């Protein structure tokens, strides 16, 4: 005889659903506990927050610094200003954008000659033009005529007034004479650029600007003539420019290193004040003063429905796992499949009332209807007659006139209406039913069963003991008692 019990997912699911009350209760308890714990934490945090001393404002923190601490912040601010200026310079400076090995250079040469009756030297006039170029005044005039957002200082640094050199043009090439050959009345202005077209545009503006300035000098110093001589343009490698650019980059690196070093030496509070210095000066980041006699208001603390949901889901999950494990490990009879495990013929199954009135019993009835929804529906009378027919046919085939009715859980069903009706129906066919206790545990019951020689098992789902039922089957087998079949009662 095989005793291997089978398990189906469908049976496990319905078994768990039948314990819905415990699942709901544990879910509500776990959800309430978790929500209460979170509420307790939030409430304590709110109380602590309400009683806490308000943090000092950044303005108060700055005022609390010593002179040395403020000086450290000022150093960092000064270095930051230098770096900001350098960043703007590198981004906008024409000089810093010129590749030192591809310098576009334009040189304009003029001859300056004072009028004969004017008591002013040529050197004074040339010095005036020199100052006009190098002082930045000419750059202002150039910027006014240029279209764009370029600033005058970026024009000034690409202009220069070469000394002791005279440029002439021979066959399109520039010729430089040595200083021993210098002519005293020559004035030269040069500009450098990275773009040839832009350089020529600025050169054209320089010509106009110098002409305007010449008219101005006629009135302020004395009449003179300024004659345009030559214009030369070319591309050269300027290592002096390379040196200037490197000097500026090196200086930037030094300042950046100093800035990062001093910034890293600031404390956390000094850094916070430094980052918000302008806002502090503007009156921002200041806490409102709280009157001393004002009562502290407790922040509103609400129960967390989210924590309740998490706790409820966790509790329900634990109980579902518990009842699944309980179903798989139970020693109770789990249904008609246990008849198959003991090789007992199924004579029928019957729904019976548990006898207990439970809260929300309508839910239990609804679950039962859903469990057997796909099975054919029979009335109570039809179910009893089907069981009666199966028993009668088996008894007729084996020529049996009396059956010993027993159960591993006792014969408490003997007084139930369905059993009384079944007993009367079989009696009309000459088949008598005799109720006996568990024949594996009661000697008198075993003796009666051995005399009758035929057994009818009636087991109740989740009430009868499976091991006890197996023992009954073994006792019947050892004593030559025939088991006609079994009826499964579903409570």
Q: Which residue has the higher pLDDT, 334 or 288?
A: 334
Please say if the pLDDT value at position 359 is more than 80.
no
Instruction: Write the DSSP assignment of 316-342 as a string of letters.
Output: HHHHHHHHHHHHHH--B--STHHHHHT
Phi/psi class of residue 401: alpha, beta or left (left: φ > 0; alpha: ψ in -120 to 50)? alpha
Confidence of residue 310 (pLDDT cuts 50, 70, 90): very high
The gap from C-alpha 94 to its chain's centroid, in whole angstroms, comes to 46
Please name the helix (run of DSSP H) or strand (run of DSSP E) that holds residue 220, with its range, or none.
helix 196-220
What's the chain's Rg over C-alpha atoms? 55
| Number of helical (H) and strand (E) elements in the chain, helices listed first | 18, 11
Q: Which residue has the higher pLDDT, 299 or 386?
A: 386
* Sheet of 103-114, strands arranged across: 159-160, 186-193, 103-114, 224-236
Contacts 24+ apart (CB under 8 A), 289-298: 290/54, 296/50, 296/51, 297/50, 298/46, 298/47, 298/50
- β-bridge mates for residue 351, sequence order: 490
The answer to whether 123 and 184 are in contact (CB under 8 A) is: yes
Measured CA to CA in angstroms, residue 285 lies from 55, 70, 267, 273, 274 at distances of: 11, 18, 19, 10, 13
The tens digit of pLDDT for each residue in 124-161 reads 889 999 999 999 999 999 999 887 778 999 999 999 99
State how far the Cα of 58 lies from the Cα of 274, in Å rounded to an integer: 10
Instruction: Kindly state the average pLDDT of the residues 355-380.
Output: 74
Check residue 170 and give its pLDDT.
Answer: 46
Q: Which residue has the higher pLDDT, 434 or 222?
A: 434
The tens digit of pLDDT for each residue in 27-74 reads 999 999 999 999 888 888 888 777 766 667 788 888 888 889 889 889
Confidence of residue 204 (pLDDT cuts 50, 70, 90): very high
Phi, psi at residue 282, to the nearest 5°?
A: -85, 0
Check residue 340 and give its pLDDT.
Answer: 84
Residue 50, CB-side half-sphere exposure with 13 Å CA sphere:
14
Name which of 125, 154, 128, 149 is nearest 139 in CA terms.
154
Confidence of residue 357 (pLDDT cuts 50, 70, 90): low
pTM of the model: 0.47
Instruction: Kindly state the average pLDDT of the residues 430-453.
Output: 90
Check residue 167 and give its pLDDT.
Answer: 46
CB-based contacts of 127: which residues, under 8 Å, 6+ apart?
A: none
Check residue 138 and give its pLDDT.
Answer: 92
Q: Count CB-CB contacts under 10 A for residue 202.
A: 22
Q: Which of 353-362, 365-374, 461-470 has the lowest mean pLDDT?
A: 353-362
Mean pLDDT of the chain: 85
């Amino acid at each position: 005889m095989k005793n291997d019990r089978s398990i189906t997912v469908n049976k496990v699911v319905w078994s768990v659903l039948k314990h819905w009350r415990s699942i709901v209760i544990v879910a509500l308890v776990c959800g309430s506990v978790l929500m209460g714990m979170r509420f307790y934490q939030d409430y304590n945090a709110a109380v602590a927050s309400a009683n806490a001393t308000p943090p000092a404002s950044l303005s108060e923190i700055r005022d609390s610094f010593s002179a040395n601490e403020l000086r450290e912040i000022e150093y960092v601010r000064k270095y930051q200003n230098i770096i900001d200026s350098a960043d703007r310079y590198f981004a906008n400076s024409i000089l810093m954008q010129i590749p030192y090995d591809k310098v576009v250079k334009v040189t304009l040469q003029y001859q300056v000659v004072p009028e004969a009756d004017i008591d002013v030297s040529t050197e004074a006039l040339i010095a005036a033009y020199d100052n006009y170029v190098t002082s930045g005044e000419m750059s202002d005039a150039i910027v006014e005529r240029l279209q764009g957002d370029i600033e005058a200082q970026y024009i000034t640094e690409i202009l220069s007034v070469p000394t002791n050199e005279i440029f002439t043009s021979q066959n399109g090439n520039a010729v430089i004479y040595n200083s021993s050959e210098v002519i005293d009345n020559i004035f030269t202005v040069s500009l450098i650029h990275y773009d040839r077209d832009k350089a020529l545009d600025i050169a054209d503006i320089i010509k106009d600007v110098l002409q305007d300035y010449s008219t101005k000098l006629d009135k302020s110093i004395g009449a003179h003539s300024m004659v345009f001589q030559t214009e030369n343009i070319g591309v050269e490698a300027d290592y002096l420019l390379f040196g200037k650019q490197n000097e500026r980059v090196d200086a930037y690196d030094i300042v950046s290193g100093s800035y990062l070093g001093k910034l890293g030496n600031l404390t956390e509070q000094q850094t916070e004040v430094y980052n918000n210095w302008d806002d502090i000066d503007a009156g921002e980041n200041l806490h409102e003063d709280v009157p001393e006699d004002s009562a502290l208001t407790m922040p509103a603390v609400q129960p967390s429905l989210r924590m309740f949901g998490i706790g409820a889901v966790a509790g329900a999950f634990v109980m579902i796992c518990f009842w699944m494990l309980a179903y798989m490990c139970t020693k109770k009879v789990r249904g008609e499949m246990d008849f198959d495990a003991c090789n007992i013929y199924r004579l029928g199954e019957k729904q019976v009332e548990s006898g207990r009135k439970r809260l929300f019993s309508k839910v239990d009835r609804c679950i039962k209807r859903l469990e057997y929804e796909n099975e054919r529906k029979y009335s109570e009378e039809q179910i009893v007659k089907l069981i009666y027919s199966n028993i009668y046919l088996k008894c007729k085939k084996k020529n049996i006139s009396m059956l010993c009715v027993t159960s591993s859980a006792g014969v408490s069903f003997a007084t139930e209406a369905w059993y009384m009706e079944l007993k009367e129906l079989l009696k009309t066919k000459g088949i008598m039913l005799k109720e006996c206790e568990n024949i594996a545990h009661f000697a008198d019951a075993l003796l009666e069963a051995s005399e009758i020689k035929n057994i009818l098992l009636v087991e109740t789902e989740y009430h009868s003991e499976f091991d006890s039922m197996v023992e009954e089957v073994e006792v019947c087998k050892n004593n030559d008692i025939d088991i006609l079949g079994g009826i499964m009662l579903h409570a």
